């Protein structure tokens, strides 16, 4: 393996600390997604969906390939692939740890508070799509519908001021990660939204408040504040989703109404 002392800093600059990269040449970095997690690498990773990004080190500002991830602690690994030495932030079979790193990505902005208004449950909106996506992903049908209701009011053509699109109001980059070809297709949007919610539920161990916060404001914002961010729009969004979740549970018969005692 190529373990020259000068190799690791150069690779770290190229793969991990993109914002601090220096030099006078263009470089290619692969942004790879697997099971809802992102890694950066110097070559496509087997088993991941990877997109090549080329950069000129002379540009004034390099984009944040991680997405809104806040402070990231990780490791840089080296391995042999197709007879070449490659580096990645994901530990794959045959990898050897080169070094640890901590990198803070640029802060992101909170997402929109949602285009849908709190109201009665609307079970007539895309019923087959929601049932299918909930069954395939394992996400609670009532929760999936509540997010869609809060996000777009079930408007398949909705576009927010932040650029989120479709029934589930997915940002273009998120939609692409989940293989969405038409962001305004109700079926594709609902399926991708369900998979994204499933990934968030795994990340936050089923804490629906954090799931809603991350869906609205981004994973990085939740990480940066160590929980629900102090954004009024995000806090109002969470309250809206929680109220809608209960209404859809009642409408779907998965939650029993609270009976008040006679006065």
**Is the distance from CB of 125 to CB of 251 less than 8 angstroms?**
no
Measured CA to CA in angstroms, residue 182 lies from 114, 153, 165, 178, 238 at distances of 21, 19, 10, 11, 27
Residue 78 known to be catalytic: no
**How far apart (Å, rounded) are the C-alpha atoms in residues 168 and 62?**
29
For the record, the structure tokens of 161 come out as 């001021």
Measured CA to CA in angstroms, residue 118 lies from 15, 161, 245, 262 at distances of 44, 20, 10, 29
- Please pick, among 45, 68, 78, 151, the residue that the annotation labels catalytic: 151
Nearest of 23, 30, 26 to residue 6 by alpha carbon: 23
**How far apart (Å, rounded) are the C-alpha atoms in residues 17 and 123?**
47
In sequence order, the β-bridge partners of residue 201 are none
Q: What angle do CA 188, 193, 199 make, to 5 degrees?
A: 130
The residues assigned a catalytic role are 151
């Amino acid at each position: 393996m190529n373990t020259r002392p000068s190799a690791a800093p150069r690779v770290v600059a190229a793969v991990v600390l993109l914002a601090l990269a220096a030099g006078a040449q263009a470089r290619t970095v692969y942004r790879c997604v697997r099971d809802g997690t992102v890694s950066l690498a110097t070559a496509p990773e087997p088993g991941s969906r990877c997109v090549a990004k080329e950069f000129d080190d002379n540009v004034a500002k390099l984009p944040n390939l991680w997405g809104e991830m806040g402070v990231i602690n990780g490791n840089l690994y080296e391995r042999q692939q197709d007879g070449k030495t490659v580096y990645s932030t994901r530990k794959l079979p045959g990898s050897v740890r080169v070094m640890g790193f901590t990198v803070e990505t640029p802060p992101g902005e909170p997402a929109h508070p949602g285009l849908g208004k709190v109201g009665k449950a609307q079970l007539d909106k895309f019923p087959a799509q929601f049932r299918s996506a909930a069954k395939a992903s394992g996400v609670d049908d009532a929760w999936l519908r509540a997010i869609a209701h809060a996000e777009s009011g079930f408007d398949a053509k909705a576009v927010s001021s932040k650029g989120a699109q479709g029934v589930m109001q997915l940002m273009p980059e998120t939609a692409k990660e989940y293989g969405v070809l038409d962001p305004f297709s109700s079926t594709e949007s609902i399926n991708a939204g369900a998979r994204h919610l499933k990934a968030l539920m795994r990340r936050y161990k089923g804490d629906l408040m954090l799931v809603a916060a991350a869906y609205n404001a981004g994973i990085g914002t939740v990480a940066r504040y160590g929980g629900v961010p102090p954004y009024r729009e995000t806090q109002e969004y969470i309250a809206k989703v929680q109220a809608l979740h209960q209404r859809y549970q009642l409408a779907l018969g998965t939650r029993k109404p609270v009976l008040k005692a006679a006065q």
